[in-house]
Amino acid sequence: MSSLLAFIRRLSTCNNPPEMEKAPGPLRFGVLGAARIAPDAIVKPARNHEDVVVTAIAARSQDRADAFARQWGIPKAHGGSGAYQAQLPNSLHCEWTMKALAAGKHVLCEKPIADNEEDTRKMFAFAAEKNLVLLEAWQVHFHPSLQRVKELADDLGPIVNMSTYLGVWNSVFFLKDDIRFNYDLGGGALMDMGPYPINCMRFLTAHEPSVHSASATLRTEKIDEKIETHLSFGPDAIPATITTDSHLAGWGPLGLLPRWIQMVLRVECKEGVVEWSNYVLPHLYHSITVYPKEGGQWTEAAYKRRDGEGEEWWSAYRYQLEAFVDKVRGRQPSVWRTAEDSIESMKAIDAIYTKCGLPLRPTSQFIL
């Protein structure tokens, strides 16, 4: 009972973090796109950061921008034909990141940072030229649970195999006309879901993947709803299997009953196995179960960094924001994600699409 109450308290505080008094001259953030992810990704974490305020929201619809601003207490709302799309799709990440960098703004860009490797390289090159911070917001990289899984895997000896089936019940998570299924907007299940397992495996092995085979189930001619990929990592060719599935069947004879997400990452090592559940949103809940070859199994969780940074209820987005602000302010973040990391991630996604016989997502036609 005590663990259940602790979970409820942590989840409640994570979703409604205490607002901190702001320091003089805090970093001011403008949000491009009144997307469903925006409150959790930036608005709530900003409330709990003394050096951050969200001052503006932009959306294609002025009504949508106004409603978002009222709901979240944001002073300025920009909308209409001159503003941004209501949900900034992957295809526009490159254009608006480049425009923001050109205006001298640091950028925290939602994953995937662009439609393909070519655009990703162009964006980071321009950020370096402008001496500005550009970070791709794959928030899991900053959560303590990922660091802990790597510690455990390292303790159990060399990794010998990795696998995951990342699946969601389509009727709950994706709308019928969701931008994730529009090729021209950089859609595809792999684009949305693939960065999670790909980046986890890259981090755990400290190596880049080779893609050996991939097969896709298509939603439309160019849009994947499911892809199974076989890869290997590093000089030891550590085998791995990744399945991303945006259309899990529901329960029951007709598949009408809701089905929860499948998201367990299995890491097999020489001296045992580590299984990490809910590696996509580990701050909501997660479990890390260890099956050593010698001794009994155990399960643990890691919500706070061992160096003392953070709180048990901090979301992965809050940890990410801490690192971004540190970088902008000239401090060394406890955890950081480099340009090369984002480029290599996008390179892997491109390679998987190529193995499936599918075209890469369209390169941006924007010219600064």
Q: Per-residue pLDDT tens for 62-81?
A: 999 999 999 999 999 998 76
Domain with CATH 3.40.50.720 in the chain: 2-138
Structural contact between residues 307 and 334, judged by C-beta atoms closer than 8 angstroms: yes
Out of 197-211, 222-236, 251-265, least confident range: 251-265
Domain with CATH 3.30.360.10 in the chain: 140-307+338-356
Judged against a pLDDT cut of 90, whether residue 255 lies above it is answered with no
Judged against a pLDDT cut of 70, whether residue 85 lies above it is answered with no
What does the pLDDT read at residue 143? 98
What does the pLDDT read at residue 312? 94
112 preceded by a cis bond (ω within 30 of 0): yes
What does the pLDDT read at residue 248? 84
pLDDT class of 136 with cuts at 50, 70, 90: very high
Distance CA 152, CA 290 (A): 8
pLDDT in tens, 143-171: 999 999 999 999 999 999 999 999 987 65
CA proximity to 241, closest of 267, 272, 279: 267
pLDDT class of 2 with cuts at 50, 70, 90: low
* Residue found under tokens 């499948």: 262
Distance CA 125, CA 131 (A): 10
Judged against a pLDDT cut of 70, whether residue 176 lies above it is answered with no
Q: Which residues are marked as active site?
A: 111
Superfamily of domain 2-138: NAD(P)-binding Rossmann-like Domain (3.40.50.720)
Q: What is the pTM (predicted TM-score) of this model?
A: 0.95
Name residue 229's amino acid: T
**Regarding the domain delimited by 140-307+338-356, which CATH topology (the fold level of the hierarchy) does it fall under?**
Dihydrodipicolinate Reductase; domain 2 (3.30.360)
Q: How far is CA 186 from CA 79, 174, 358, in A?
A: 23, 15, 13
* Residue found under tokens 């016989």: 357
